[in-house]
Each structure stands twice: as C-alpha cells, then as structure tokens.
Structure 1
Amino acid sequence: MASLSPEDLIKQNVELASLPEIIVKLNQVVDDPFSTAQDISDIISEDPSLTARLLRIVNSPFYGFPSQIDTVSLAVTIVGTQQLRLLALASSTIRQFANLPNQFVTMETFWRHSFSVAVVARTIAAQAKQPDSEQYFIAGLLHDLGSLIIYSTIPTLATEAIAHARRKEIPLYRAERTVFGFDH
C-alpha cells in the first residue's frame, strides 16, 4: 500500500468538510449582536451530547467552581462564546467517529485526552504571552484527529501499526511511519 497518502484518507472522509447544522446555527446566533446567552443556550440544548459535554467541562476541576453548574445558560456564560464555538466544533467532529471499535480508542478517553492537551496548550501559550492562545487550544483539541481518520479508514493497517509499536516498544507515530509512510 505504498501509494497511500494522508490526502487519500481525508478524501475518503469527506463528511468532515461539512459543518453540522448545530454549528451553523450556533455561529449565526453568536455572530448576531442582538442575541443573548439564552438564545445560545437554546441552540446548545438542541444537542444532548453537546449539552452534557459542556456541563461536564464547566464542572471539571479546571474551572474550580465550589458548587455544581447545572444550567446550560450559566455554563454558556462561564465558558464564553469563543470557547463554546470550539467545543461545539470539536464535539461534532469527534462524534463523526463514534462508531470506531474500542480496540483503537474509546471516544470518552479520546475526548478527555484531547481536552487535557488543549487546556495545557492554551495555558502554555498564555504563560508565554502568545497573542492568540485560543489557536493553541484548537490545536491541542484536534491534535489526534488524524488517528481517528486512520482508525476509521484503514483499520487493518492501524491494527498493524499498533501491534508494531507494541512489539518494537516504539512510539505509535514511528510505527505509523513504518507501516503507512506517514503518521497521524
């Protein structure tokens, strides 16, 4: 499979290029100067998965609130519109891979890892006084998206790369380079 390229995998996953309706609606409301936090909350509430993820994030130790945040409108106010857009986009993107076999990764583990990396990336960027630390947050959030594309598009080769990494006791990205010629 020497002719395999990252571009080929992306072409096979073309649905990633289209934004889910909730993202379009959310962007319209957030961009409307007359919209309220309640308007935004109403849109978020249309998506149970996004609602649950938002509430889980605002109730995480990262935000450190002494009491439980249990309303979407309060969560929206806490997180802010920029962060909310990123969360909705990442949530929708990752949901596209919800049916991946657990032999590769559980989506909950993937999400937790991605969010942790995103928070650390943004924190480092802020400490280094980088002008737009949110870009680092996005990069951290989506840094392993290539893995999901690989797992869903070429699962046999992905399994081979994982086995190769374990057998040789090398990082997965090196095994991926050996097996496919590129890494996630």
Structure 2
Amino acid sequence: MTPESLVAQTETLFSFPDAAYRVQELIEAPSTRAQDLAEVILCDAALTARLLRLVNSPVFAPASPVTKVAQAVNLLGTRALRDLVFATCAIETFAGLPEDGLNMEHFWRYSVTSGIAARTLASERGLPASEHLFLIGLVHGLGKLILLSQCPTQVREVMQRLGKTATIEETAAAEEQVLGFNYAELGATLLKAWRFPDSIWVPVQYHLQPGRAPTHRLETETLWASVSVASDMLAADLAKGDEPGSVQIPEPERIAKPLRLPAESIARLPLEIELEILEMLEILIPGCSLIP
C-alpha cells in the first residue's frame, strides 16, 4: 500500500466537487466578473449560505448587511473566496464519516484552529498572502480522515503503540512503522489528486519536518508552528472544559524560535484567536456542539 494507491482506491468516495474546480478556473481567468463567480456559487445552497454568513460576521464587519453573492465576492476578494469554497467543500466531502476512534467535531476544531493560527502567524512574520495559510492549516490533517475511513485496523494498531499523550510526531512515526507512510504524506497526495497547487500540498506534506520542504519553506514552518499551537489548545480545552482564557502554551519558546518571533507572540496567540475560532466554526460547521 502507498499513499498514491490508497488515494486512487478512494477517489470516487472522496472526490472534490466540480463547483470548486469551476471557481478556481474562473478566478484564474482574467476576464472573470464577480457575477460569473456568483452564478457558480449560487448553484450550491449550503456554500451560498456560508459565504453570506462569513461576509456578515465580525471577521469582515461590513458597514451594511451583504445580501447578494456578487457583493460578497467583491468584499472577500478572489483568494479568500477560493479558500472559503475549498474549505467548505473539504468539510462536506468528509461529512458522515463514522466517529470510531475520532471525534469529528474535535478534529474540525483542531483544523480550524490550525488554520487561524497559521494565518495569524504568517501575518506576524510578514508573509505575503497570509490569508492563504488558513486553507493550508484547515486541510493539513485530511490524511487522518482517509486512514480512519479506509484503514481502521492499521489505525487501531497505531493507537495501541502509543500512549494517550503521544505527540503528532510520535503518531506519524508509528504510522510509518505500520503503514510505510504517515498522514501528512497521504493528505498531500489527496490534495494533489484534487488539483490543489503546490503552495498548499507541499507545506502539508512536510509540516512535520519543515527543513525537508523543497519549496515554500516559510509557509511550511508556519504550518508546523500552527499545528503545534492547535494541539496544545485542544489538549488544554479538553482538560479544562473550554474555560475562556484558560489555554496556555506550555513551551512557547520552542515554537517561536524557528519562526524568529518573540515567545510572547506564541504565548498570547490562544487568547487572540479564541473568538475567531468560534466564529469560523459556526460558519463552516453550523450547530457544532463545541460552540458555547
């Protein structure tokens, strides 16, 4: 079994919606108008509703309510629009997976936290198009969902080798021992099959070892840091019952040093992004039980 063969086996089960590809094609075409994009989005009622909720949320805080998709397209901009479309389609593609061995709401909270943390850290580092990091953070763990769905026996074997406090790196190492590859490689292979650009799948594939990334090194480092922050935040939330402001990063220096940021930037990150996480969860996963 290889990542390529596993993705090929599941291509029909986990196929990316044509609407997302159409949005990408239109964004790349220089003659595309906002109305052209709006017409594609309007064909998907769930996507339309989430788009309008996003542009009317405190994240964008418009001066007056936005009620038309074409207005939303103009307000968001093409990159943020594409990221929202891809994020929504990714979540819908994996909807309905059995929760044996994985709480899906916890998984998406962790993924949304990774995305928002990545976007925030990219902005602090002065990376261009930092909004792009939200999508990278959101989809970095999709390989775990394929493993859960298609390789439950191997996943159980991986878990038996690990303690309850295993790190992401330890989990990936156990996956390599059992499967010959890890969730990051599998997720990157899926994203390539979905025709995501290398600016997305390269950071996903190498985020556990950013130094090995052949390109997009800064984005990969940022993703590694955001995943570390998200893991710490989720662990603290589960331990403390989601008490507001209760989350602390145990070793902010460890995460901050490779990014060449002050440790305070990492230490204050949970409190800075907590509200945004809840807002984005409500937009992407309406009714999520993890939202107070």
Indicate whether the TM-score tops 0.5. Answer: yes
Q: Which deviates further from its counterpart, 96-105 or 172-181?
A: 172-181
Match of 2:127 in 1: 130
* TM-score, length of structure 1 as denominator length: 0.74
Q: 2:173 aligns with which of 158, 167, 177?
A: 177
1:3-42 to 2 correspondence within 5 Å? Answer: 4-15=1-12, 19-42=16-39
CA distance in 2 between partners of 1:27 and 1:168 (Å): 41
- Amino acid across the alignment from 1:40: L
Task: Mark the CA change 1:174 to 1:126 in structure 2 (over 3 Å): closer, same or farther.
Answer: same
Q: Which deviates further from its counterpart, 29-38 or 143-152?
A: 29-38
- Amino acid across the alignment from 2:182: D
Match of 1:75 in 2: 72
Task: Mark the CA change 1:74 to 1:111 in structure 2 (over 3 Å): closer, same or farther.
Answer: farther
Percent identical pairs in the alignment equals 36
Structure 2: stretches of 5+ with no match in the other structure = 184-292
* TM-score, length of structure 2 as denominator length: 0.50
SS of equivalent residue, structure 1 residue 100: coil
SS of equivalent residue, structure 1 residue 99: coil
Match of 1:105 in 2: 103
Contact map agreement 2:14 2:94 (CA 8 A) in 1: no
Task: Mark the CA change 1:162 to 1:79 in structure 2 (over 3 Å): closer, same or farther.
Answer: farther
Task: Mark the CA change 1:23 to 1:169 in structure 2 (over 3 Å): closer, same or farther.
Answer: closer
- Amino acid across the alignment from 1:51: T
CA distance in 2 between partners of 1:64 and 1:102 (Å): 35
Contact map agreement 1:122 1:133 (CA 8 A) in 2: yes
Q: Which deviates further from its counterpart, 50-59 or 138-147?
A: 50-59
Contact map agreement 2:56 2:62 (CA 8 A) in 1: yes
Q: After TM superposition, what 4+ stretches of structure 1 lie above 6 angstroms from structure 2? A: none
Greater relative contact order (Cα < 8 A, sep 6+)? 1
Task: Mark the CA change 1:157 to 1:32 in structure 2 (over 3 Å): closer, same or farther.
Answer: same
CA distance in 2 between partners of 1:94 and 1:50 (Å): 11
Match of 2:92 in 1: 95
CA distance in 1 between partners of 2:130 and 2:27 (Å): 20
Contact map agreement 1:55 1:69 (CA 8 A) in 2: yes
Task: Mark the CA change 1:16 to 1:142 in structure 2 (over 3 Å): closer, same or farther.
Answer: farther
Match of 2:46 in 1: 49
> RMSD over aligned Cα, in angstroms?
3.2
Match of 2:219 in 1: none
Structure 1: stretches of 5+ with no match in the other structure = none
Task: Mark the CA change 1:10 to 1:16 in structure 2 (over 3 Å): closer, same or farther.
Answer: same
Contact map agreement 1:122 1:136 (CA 8 A) in 2: yes
- Cα shift at 1:85: 1.5
Task: Mark the CA change 1:172 to 1:117 in structure 2 (over 3 Å): closer, same or farther.
Answer: closer
CA distance in 1 between partners of 2:137 and 2:25 (Å): 25
- Matched positions, count: 179
CA distance in 2 between partners of 1:50 and 1:164 (Å): 40
- Cα shift at 1:21: 1.9
Task: Mark the CA change 1:71 to 1:114 in structure 2 (over 3 Å): closer, same or farther.
Answer: farther
CA distance in 1 between partners of 2:161 and 2:50 (Å): 34
Cα deviation code 1:14-57 (max 9, x no counterpart): 34896532123223433344433222112111112222332343
